[in-house]
Structure 1
Amino acid sequence: MRNRNGIFWGIFLLLSAALLIVSQLHLITYTFNFWTIIATLFLVFFLVKSLVYFSISGTVFTLAFLAILYAKPLGIAALSAWTILGAALLITIGLSLILNPFLAKHRPWMRIKSKMKWSRRPFISYYEDDDDDTKTVDSSDVDVFVKMGNGVRYVRSDDFQTANIQANLGEAKVYFDHVTVRDTATIKVNVSLGNVELFVPRNWNVIKGVNNSMGNISEAGTQKLTADSPNVTITGLVSMGNLKIQYI
């Protein structure tokens, strides 16, 4: 993780320096005002972060916002902002379907044991993961994969250790109120244009290490920590999505 952070800040600072020099030397005919530069730096920040963490939705939508910002010099002023964003959504869905299996090896939180079947027609696949249902999972290691659907999982375990939760263009709700953590546990999330809600015991000492790329991470409820509270680390990536941690 530290290596990725170093790469991210290195690339971001180099691009920022290049943008500053180009804007001051007037090497291009387009005139940069102060707020355009600030907005560009902000978008470049998220673009580099999305590239470093292999976030398809973050990369595509950041490029879409840059295209909207520089529509005139790019010669696409005839396109409305909604047209560009609509195209970005379709591109994100298409690239996610094509590239997610290859990107999984670069993103450990995506390595989920999903059942994949292929239809007789080439290049068409579907996932058999009970996307739109409710299930009770009795296991120390939990995998949840929701794609273009909704899923609710109730976890039951006397020795909970890990959970891998992925939501792409879908919504996942996972309840951990009937599990026991003996020492430590890890919950890995990957949210892309989706929503994940984690319902966790209020006596858990939750350690948050989630990377946020143009998404939202929130908490609700009140923690009640004691000397025996287990440490539970939540890691992963939220890209153009929402992660909510609800203490119950």
Structure 2
Amino acid sequence: MRNRNGIFWGIFLLLSAAILIISQLHLITYSFSFWTIAATIFLAAVLIKSLVYFAIPGTVFSLAFLAILYAKPLGITAIVPWTLLGAALLVSIGLSMIFRPLLAKHRPWINYHRGYTRGHHGPFVKMDYTARPDVKTVDDPDVNVYVKMGSSIRYVKSEDFSSANIDVSMGDAKVYFDNVKVHDTATISVNVSLGGVELFVPRNWNIVKGLDNNMGAISEVGNPVTDADSPSVTVVGLVSLGNLKINYV
């Protein structure tokens, strides 16, 4: 993941330099304001990061916003912004469904190849993609939650919790970890796109975040109370045009 961050920042800085030079040399017949250039650099950053992390929604929506921003030079002023955004949503859904098996191979935090996933603490585990979003209690040390265009609530009860893989696309999931025990360490992998995930974790957990945020929101509610005996739980993954909330209970 560090290598990907290096690629992102390298390309971002090169593209930013190119945009600044082109804007000052007046190589484009249209003149743009400072805020237009600033918005372009920001959207270019989102686009590059989305491409580096193979995030389809971030890629499509950043291109859509760039098209809105440069509608006049592109000659597409007849297309209203809401039409472009609506088309971007449909394209995101379609491409996500088509390329999910291919894109999953390139995501370092979770591997969906042939319906299997692997956490940091165990072998491959079969993931059920056909299960309907509902309310369930899970007694396993390795938890898998998959939500697509729906909602799901999982109450995890385990005496030796090891890992959790949470994948949410255009839906929402709430996962309660307040009735589990962690021996030393555990890992929670989150991949949320155009949706929301809420994690309810014990206050005594030492949460270590290794998350990538792509036009999403990551927040924490409550105050953790940790000490030398607190287990270390790492939360990794990608939040793309979505929301992740960690609640300390």
For Structure 1 versus Structure 2, the TM-score category normalised by the shorter chain is over 0.9
* Higher alpha-carbon deviation: 19-28 or 192-201: 19-28
Amino acid of the structure 1 residue aligned with 2:149:
M
Alignment of 1:176-191 (within 5 A): 176-191=177-192
Match of 2:119 in 1: none
Shift of residue 109 of structure 1?
3.5
Distance 1:55 1:149 in 2: 20
Q: Deviations over 1:130-175 (max 9, x none)?
A: 22x1111111111111001111111111111111100000111111
- Deviation per CA, 1:62-119: give whole Å up to 9, x if none: 1111010000001111111111111100110101110111101111444258869xxx
**What runs of 5+ residues in structure 2 fail to find an aligned partner?**
117-127
Alignment of 1:1-248 (within 5 A): 1-112=1-112, 127-131=129-133, 133-248=134-249
TM-score (norm 1): 0.92
- Residue 28 of structure 2 aligns to a residue whose secondary structure is coil
| Counterpart Cα distance in 2 of 1:115 and 1:210 | 23
Is contact 1:216-1:238 (8 Å) kept? yes
Q: Which amino acid aligns with 2:30?
A: Y
Contact in 2 for aligned 1:112/1:143 (Cα 8 Å): no
**2:122 aligned residue:** none
Distance 2:193 2:11 in 1: 23
Identity of aligned residues (%): 68
Structure 1 stretches of 4+ moved >4 Å = 112-116
1:228 match: secondary structure = coil
How many aligned residue pairs are there? 238
Instruction: Give the TM-score normalised by structure 2.
Output: 0.92
Q: Is 1:192–1:238's contact at 8 Å kept on the other side of the alignment?
A: yes
User: What 5-or-longer segments of structure 1 have no aligned partner?
Assistant: 117-125
Q: CA RMSD in A?
A: 1.6
The letter for the 2-side match of 1:161 is S
1:25, distance to aligned residue in structure 2 (A): 1.3
SS at match of 1:6: helix
Aligned letter for 1:64?
Answer: A
Equivalent residue letter for 2:54: F
Q: Distance in 2 between matches of 1:186 and 1:149?
A: 24
Q: Which amino acid is the alignment partner of residue 73 of structure 1?
A: P
